[in-house]
Structure 1
Amino acid sequence: MMTDSPLLAVPGAVAADGIDAGVASHYGNPLVEQRRLEEGLALVDLSNRGVLSVTGPDRLTWLDSMASQSLARLQPGDSAEALFLDASGRVEHAVHLVDDGETAWLVLEASSAEPLRAWLDRMRFMLRVAVADVSAETAVIGSLGAPLPDGVAVTAIWNDPWAHVAPGGFQYAAESGHPSAEWGYSETLVPRADLSVIARAARAGDVTLAGSLALEALRIAAWRPRFATEVDERTIPHELDWLRSAVHLSKGCYRGQETVAKVHNLGRPPRRLVLLHLDGSDTVLPVHGDIVSADKVRPESEAERRAVGVVTSSALHHELGPIALAVVKRAVPSDIPFTIDSHETEVAAAQVEIVPSGAGAQVDVPRLPRLGIRR
């Protein structure tokens, strides 16, 4: 059982709720905190995240056999992102994984920690591996380059692979203008007891803290999917451009691989991720689950408004203003404006295409000649 974070007792801390409950949403000025975080000057308390440890000589080959990412040859200090899929290729868990040569550390949403631990434990069979939930002893600190204060022990550091297309991965989004190059994000695992050291340094002015709101704004602007927000019971990796960082397309067999390969090579993902620039004139920021609608215009008739997707994440960005990520139907045109129903207000939104409507079908299958009677 995780205890309350000492960083919530730092002056100015305002507790978050919902999926980020247990840490601070901000420390008085979220927009300033964004800038400091982006400049590599601030730390983010993520001690509400779950952490699993996997030990034993078979740990990497074992994880490799079940996960979407190639993990068998990770070297000490290497970082990876991996998905655990169901038999139909839908995302069940997403993990940030770093191996230190003796232990594979898995960072994930707290709600996933126990279900994934239990499932992995059932899959051990006779292999030399052990899985443990170490969330009560290990905390996570996020940053874009800010150092930890003296006196904090570092267990492991996970460097986000989102900045580049990972080996074996594939990017659906256009190469030009992709914001990932600015996303030099990392997560540092520390003993939970050392959070008090960071809290003391923050009170003394030796460390700058940023809240979860600041991190979310920068994540959304980087088009970076998060399991707790962008994933629902139907999500396949292609819809979120997650083949980019979390899927190795030529590795060995794993659960859900058939769907991953079939959609990528022959099919189309049924939905696609978009970034939304929101009209902020009514100062209404849509929230997770708000319906995204578009007008369907028919010849000689009035436009008909239809639901085409949902908002998954939203934030007020210090440069871009109000923005959001949304998952919409694949066939919706990329240039059509949206309307979001939120807090009894209609919010206009312009979309930036992340996953194109033509994503997938990478194999060129030649058309067979039509069969018929030869004359």
Structure 2
Amino acid sequence: MLEIGRDHFGSPTIEQRELLAGRAIVPLNDRAVISLTGPDRLTWLDSVTSQQLIGLRPGDSAETLLLDPNGRIEHAMRVVEDGVSLWLLVDSEQAAPLEQWLGRMKFMAQVEIADRTAEFATVAAFADGLIEPAAPNDVPLVWNDPWREIVSGGWQYASAQEHPGLHWTYREVLVERDALSSIPAERLAGTLALEALRIAAWRPRLATEGDERSIPHELDWLRSAVHLAKGCYRGQETVAKVHNLGRPPRRLVLLHLDGSDSVLPVHGDEVELDDKVVGAVTSAAMHHELGPIALALVRRNVPTDAALAVRSEGIAVAAAQGVIVPPTAGATAGVPRLPRLGGVQR
């Protein structure tokens, strides 16, 4: 029986190359699957989450976020429509609370909610054809990640001349659980390889980059998961206010790490500037070309050219900052601030 979700099946570096070449897949054991069935499935989920879902056709993919009233991210959903059901691919720890919340919010909507994780497993790949997708309603259940480009109604804060997401051909395939045992061993790659490629693509994931304070702007998640012109939904006021008038308090950065001490940071390791804590690592990996890299959330006002360090295992690991979300993110409306009452206007 195949042991899914392993860190690696040999060399993570080789596995990264095999993934990018479309010759390997990653079985994932930390994913869950929820289906929404019924005539109101698209309009209802559209009304409570951040992305425009009305109009999805069979086979279409999308990404949407469930926010709290203050605009903080509670759940992230990878969405596939098959003409009969809307499939939500989520991280395992989100499944039960998300299903419960959706059930409470259904009211009179004609929607049936079901956890389908026992029936379907999730496999990650960068090309089609390596495994047969499940198709319970005659439409292959393949989620194509929209991160490759700015979606309609979205926004990108990153100003890189060539965004690394352009080369991110990632997809998640739902397969019958029995099909896992038939995957040839030579086609398998581990989660370490996948994490390295995800970090290099600046691709946020709620389970790692998110916390109880996260808003989409900090992670440049307006790029793929938020429609700025759709109707009202919970948390929309904060999304619009920060984007048009404010600044996100933190920003996602890519860290190029000094590998001379052979220390790879872990989630939560502190990021320092002049011995003061200014952020924390969210993900780290050894990339087959870039070497040791990490994603981190730092304070918005940390200078983009600052020499940073990551405190890991008692060692200060030097880190060069790659700007993903710039300090100038937000305030796109360009409305000048009014002076405070009694203040002096300069």
- TM-score, with normalisation over the residues of structure 2? 0.95
Could you say what the CA RMSD is over the residues aligned between the two structures, in angstroms? Answer: 1.6
Please say if residues 5 and 26 of structure 2, whose CA atoms lie closer than 8 Å, have aligned partners that are also in contact: no
- Tell me the amino acid that sits aligned with residue 218 of structure 1: L
Gaps of 5+ in 1: 1-5, 9-21, 296-304
Match of 1:165, SS? coil
Aligned to 1:265: 244
TM-fit CA distance, 1:47: 3.6
Please say if residues 42 and 146 of structure 1, whose CA atoms lie closer than 8 Å, have aligned partners that are also in contact: no
Q: Are 2:37 and 1:50 equivalent residues in the alignment? A: no
Structure-2 separation of matches of 1:28 and 1:371: 65
Q: Are 2:173 and 1:188 equivalent residues in the alignment? A: yes
TM-fit CA distance, 1:149: 4.1
- Tell me the amino acid that sits aligned with residue 287 of structure 2: H
Please say if residues 23 and 130 of structure 2, whose CA atoms lie closer than 8 Å, have aligned partners that are also in contact: no
The 3 A distance-change label for structure 1 pair 370 and 291 is closer
- Picking from 271, 274, 279, the partner of 2:253 is 274
Please say if residues 125 and 172 of structure 2, whose CA atoms lie closer than 8 Å, have aligned partners that are also in contact: yes
- Tell me the amino acid that sits aligned with residue 44 of structure 2: W
- Tell me the amino acid that sits aligned with residue 294 of structure 1: L
TM-fit CA distance, 1:61: 0.1
TM-fit CA distance, 1:367: 6.1
Aligned to 1:234: 213
- 1:150-165 matches, within 5 Å, as 153-154=134-135, 155-165=140-150
Aligned to 1:171: 156
- 1:88-127 matches, within 5 Å, as 88-127=70-109
Please say if residues 41 and 146 of structure 1, whose CA atoms lie closer than 8 Å, have aligned partners that are also in contact: no
After superposition, give the CA deviation of every residue in 1:219-252 in whole Å (9 maximum; x if it has no partner): 0000000011000000000000000000000000
TM-fit CA distance, 1:7: 2.5
Instruction: State which structure, 1 or 2, has the greater radius of gyration over its C-alpha atoms.
Output: 1
TM-fit CA distance, 1:147: 2.0
Q: Are 2:10 and 1:40 equivalent residues in the alignment? A: no
Structure-2 separation of matches of 1:149 and 1:105: 19
Match of 1:193, SS? helix
Aligned to 2:2: 7
The 3 A distance-change label for structure 1 pair 290 and 62 is same
TM-fit CA distance, 1:148: 2.5
Q: Are 2:280 and 1:326 equivalent residues in the alignment? A: no
- Picking from 226, 231, 235, the partner of 1:252 is 231
After superposition, give the CA deviation of every residue in 1:256-281 in whole Å (9 maximum; x if it has no partner): 00000000000000000000000000
The 3 A distance-change label for structure 1 pair 148 and 363 is same
Match of 2:310, SS? strand
Match of 1:195, SS? helix
Aligned to 1:353: 323
- Tell me the amino acid that sits aligned with residue 27 of structure 1: F
The 3 A distance-change label for structure 1 pair 371 and 66 is closer
- Tell me the amino acid that sits aligned with residue 36 of structure 1: E
Match of 1:358, SS? coil
Structure-2 separation of matches of 1:104 and 1:371: 52
- Tell me the amino acid that sits aligned with residue 276 of structure 1: L
- Tell me the amino acid that sits aligned with residue 87 of structure 2: W
Gaps of 5+ in 2: none
Please say if residues 314 and 325 of structure 1, whose CA atoms lie closer than 8 Å, have aligned partners that are also in contact: yes
